[in-house]
Amino acid sequence: DAGITQSPRYKITETGRQVTLMCHQTWSHSYMFWYRQDLGHGLRLIYYSAAADITDKGEVPDGYVVSRSKTENFPLTLESATRSQTSVYFCASTEGSGAKWDTQYFGPGTRLTVL
Amino acid sequence: GENVEQHPSTLSVQEGDSAVIKCTYSDSASNYFPWYKQELGKRPQLIIDIRSNVGEKKDQRIAVTLNKTAKHFSLHITETQPEDSAVYFCAASWAAGTASKLTFGTGTRLQVTL
């Protein structure tokens, strides 16, 4: 589990501010994902990436931007934070090949509060 | 995409009893169904998974069953223990483009009482 990390672990910001959440994995996994977790909604996919420089929208992408210039990093940016983006954000990765290619491994999460 | 429904939302059992959590999915092309356990304040962790070519899979006290015709799958925990108390999520895979993605159920909070 130490192979995928997120920073910061906790963040408080104000409405309208730009915030970037970091995700780093040391497994050289091809695929990386960003989810948000809210009570009553489970885990919802925001964005995902199949490889460096390849990203695509998930279920709830509005208000978020991602990039992936290096395989190991997948930052998530809230361009202008809103209160509705208060949530716990999880990054995940998967190998993308072989028998276990579907299994996703989660980072420890970032708890974001937007005031 | 995929739609996954999970029931019940909360489940309380006595220690030693069995617990069953059920999920249904909508996309008949889904072929991978993992279950995650999430303890309070922690990350979701995979506890068991099943693929569409298998009807049942067991790992010690936990088992998962899959009925592709009915598009539902279930998690069974036998001889429950206090440390089984957590939120459990089911998920189903779906594919678009180059990646296989997961859609999660809304979770079941399991409480094991002494």
Tokens of A1: 């589990």
Decide if pLDDT at A1 tops 70: no
B106 touches chain A (CB under 8 A): yes
**What band does B31 get if pLDDT is binned at 50, 70 and 90?**
confident
Best interface-test mutation with B: which of A29, A39, A104, A110 has the largest number of B CBs within 10 A? Answer: A104
Chain A closest-CA separation from residue B106 CA (Å)? 4
Average pLDDT over residues A24-39: 93
Q: Are strands A64-66 and B4-7 parallel, antiparallel or unpaired?
A: unpaired
**pLDDT, position B4:** 95
Cβ separation B43–A56 shorter than 8 A = no
CB A6 within 8 A of CB A108: yes
Phi-psi domain of A7 (left: phi exceeds 0; alpha: psi -120 through 50; beta: other): beta
Nearest to B49 among A33, A50, A103 (CB): A103
Quick: pLDDT tens for A75-89.
999 999 999 999 999
- Which is higher by pLDDT, B52 or A86? A86
Rounded distance between C-alpha atoms, residue B77 and residue A45, angstroms:
28
Decide if pLDDT at A100 tops 60: no
Tokens of A96: 């993308």
Tokens of A31: 């695929």
Chain B closest-CA separation from residue A16 CA (Å)? 27
Tokens of A15: 């409405």
A40 touches chain B (CB under 8 A): yes
Q: Which residues on chain A are in Cβ contact (under 8 Å) with B100?
A: 94, 101-102
**pLDDT, position B96:** 61
Decide if pLDDT at B48 tops 70: yes
Tokens of A54: 């390849």
A44 touches chain B (CB under 8 A): yes
B64 touches chain A (CB under 8 A): no
Cβ separation B106–A42 shorter than 8 A = yes
Q: Which residues on chain B are in Cβ contact (under 8 Å) with A54?
A: 98
CA A71 to chain centre: 14
Nearest CA to A102 among B101, B107, B57, B90? B101
CB A70 within 8 A of CB A17: no
Cβ separation A106–B103 shorter than 8 A = no
**What band does A17 get if pLDDT is binned at 50, 70 and 90?**
very high
Q: Which residue from A minimizes the CA distance to B43?
A: A108
Q: Return the CA Rg of chain A.
A: 13
Average pLDDT over chain B reads 93
Nearest to A45 among B42, B46, B101 (CB): B101
